[in-house]
Each structure stands twice: as C-alpha cells, then as structure tokens.
C-alpha cells in the first residue's frame, strides 16, 4: 500500500494510485511513516520542513498540509490506516504489512537468522525476496533529515542483504550464479574487502583461477592507490591458497 523503496507511492486496496503531489505533504507522510504509531511533534515537523528558518506562517501551513494529507489517505481507513492529532503532534497508524520497508526488514532479519542457524537454502530464499523488493534508495525525491538518515541505514542494510544472499548461494555451491552480482558489487563498492573475498571464492570455486588472481591484483592496486593500504591478512592468505590451487 505504501512504497518507500524507490520513489514514494501510495495505492489503495484495489491497486489504484493515491496521489500525494505536494512536496511538503510527501515529506510529512514519509516522516510519519518512519515513526509508525509514534507521535511526531509539530515542532519536529516544522524543523524537518523548514530547517533553516520557519516562516511566520509555518504552523498554520503545517496544519493545512496535514489536513489535506488526512483527506487524501481517508480511503485507506478501512485497511487500518489512520492519521490523527495527538497532543502537540501527529501520529500515523499503518499496519506493517502495508509498508514495503517493513516487509524488507522482516525478510532481511529472517534470512540473516537462517544463515546463522546453518540453513543457507532458507536464507537464500528470504534474502532474495528482500532484494526483489528493492526499487531504489528510500524516497530519493524527499530531502528532509529523518528521511536522509533512514535512507543511509536502509542503503547499508541492502548492501548487507546482498552480501548475505551471495554467502548463502556460495554455501549451496551455486558459484556461477553469483559472479555477475559480485562483479557489479565490487564496481559499486571497491573498498569493501568482504565483497572481493567472495568474488575470489566464487571464481576459484568454478575453476577460474586466473580470473581470481587477476581480481586480487586489481583489488590490491585499488587499495594501494586510493587508500595506501594492503589487503587484509585473510585476503592475502586466500590469495596464497589460490596460487597453490588449494580448495576454498
């Protein structure tokens, strides 16, 4: 019902779009959705919307934005969505099942726990479901502090979910399928050594020893040139094992 991964979108129970057009209404909705059931004070919302200096009309404008947002969301009341005034603030009640980031987080947590428990097949399935929900960073069109902070947290979770999914696939012996994803990930995050470690494992595990050694040299050059450091001890040991032809 509420999509935050990627551009903000709201749909009713029949799949019809509910348009929240005004930028400040979108920001209010996003902030309230990131505090489901919690009260967000008027002062907090004013600071979010006007971080430098709120205009003299800020409080009245905020009340108008919330009034219009409440009317826009009214068709969702039958599905448990309720925007109410509580004290000197507002609260948005919305079921977890109606928010994509909650479903993403739940599958991420369950997948991570399954991997820790030694169930890579279950972990791979749950983490793949989480990754398939990702349509981009959290509401990139909304530029307020709460959204920016949550965007950073979810970006980090998405990267970790990708790593854990690859790890689960590697434990299942599915090396070939993860190599393209790992190559994409090391391009996007060239200083993240854990990704290089898995790429070396995947390549060597498929007998692509020369490519694994070339990937190690490339990683070492990047770390040396950009950061002035050498690869971690574990990566150097992995390199030596590949040179010896030892199984990884």
Residue with tokens 């349509």: 135
Rounded average pLDDT over 159-178: 97
Name the segment(s) of the chain with CATH classification 1.25.40.10.
Answer: 174-248
| The pLDDT of residue 246 | 67
The per-residue pLDDT for range 170-224, each reduced to its tens digit, is 999 999 999 999 999 999 999 999 999 999 999 999 999 999 999 999 999 999 9
Whether domain 174-248 has CATH 1.25.40.10: yes
| The pLDDT of residue 14 | 83
Residue with tokens 């599915």: 174
Q: Residue 247 — very low, low, confident or very high, per pLDDT cuts 50/70/90? A: low
The per-residue pLDDT for range 2-55, each reduced to its tens digit, is 999 999 999 988 889 999 989 999 999 999 999 888 899 999 999 999 999 899
Q: Residue 87, class by beta-carbon neighbours within 10 Å (0-12 exposed, 13-18 middle, 19+ buried)?
A: exposed
Predicted TM-score (pTM) of this structure: 0.93
Examine the pLDDT at 114 and tell me if it is beyond 70: yes
Name the segment(s) of the chain with CATH classification 1.10.10.10.
Answer: 2-94
| The pLDDT of residue 248 | 62
| The pLDDT of residue 245 | 79
- Determine which of 90-99, 125-134, 152-161 has the lowest per-residue pLDDT on average: 90-99
100-113 burial: b if 16+ Cβ within 10 Å, else e: bbbbbbebbebbbe
Rounded average pLDDT over 145-174: 97
Q: Residue 1 — very low, low, confident or very high, per pLDDT cuts 50/70/90? A: confident
| The pLDDT of residue 121 | 98
Q: Tell me the pLDDT of the chain averaged across its residues.
A: 95
DSSP 14-27: TS-B----SHHHHH
In angstroms, rounded to a whole number, what is the distance separating the alpha carbons of residues 138 and 63? 25
Three-state DSSP at 85 gives strand
| The pLDDT of residue 122 | 98
Examine the pLDDT at 84 and tell me if it is beyond 80: yes
Whether domain 2-94 has CATH 1.10.10.10: yes
| The pLDDT of residue 101 | 96
Examine the pLDDT at 63 and tell me if it is beyond 90: yes
């Amino acid at each position: 019902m509420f999509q935050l991964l990627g551009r903000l979108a709201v749909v009713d129970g029949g799949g019809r779009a509910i348009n929240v057009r005004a930028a400040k209404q979108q920001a209010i909705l996003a902030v309230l959705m990131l505090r489901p059931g919690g009260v967000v004070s008027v002062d907090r919302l004013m600071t979010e919307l006007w971080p430098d200096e709120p205009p003299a009309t800020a409080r009245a404008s905020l009340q108008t934005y919330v009034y219009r947002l409440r009317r826009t969301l009214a068709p969702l009341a039958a599905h448990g969505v309720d925007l109410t005034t509580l004290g000197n603030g507002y609260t948005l009640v919305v079921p977890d099942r109606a928010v994509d980031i909650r479903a993403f987080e739940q599958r991420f947590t369950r997948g991570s726990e399954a991997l820790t428990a030694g169930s890579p097949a279950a972990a791979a399935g749950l983490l793949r479901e989480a990754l398939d929900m990702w349509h981009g960073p959290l509401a990139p069109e909304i530029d307020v502090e709460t959204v920016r902070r949550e965007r950073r947290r979810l970006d980090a979770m998405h990267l970790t979910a990708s790593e854990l999914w690859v790890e689960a696939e590697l434990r299942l012996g599915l090396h070939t399928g993860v190599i393209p994803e790992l190559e994409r990930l090391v391009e996007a995050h060239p200083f993240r050594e854990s990704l290089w470690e898995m790429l070396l494992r995947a390549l060597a595990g498929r007998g692509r020893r020369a490519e694994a050694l070339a990937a190690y040299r490339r990683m070492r050059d990047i770390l040396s040139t950009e950061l002035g450091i050498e690869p971690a001890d574990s990566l150097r040991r992995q390199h030596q094992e590949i040179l010896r032809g030892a199984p990884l």
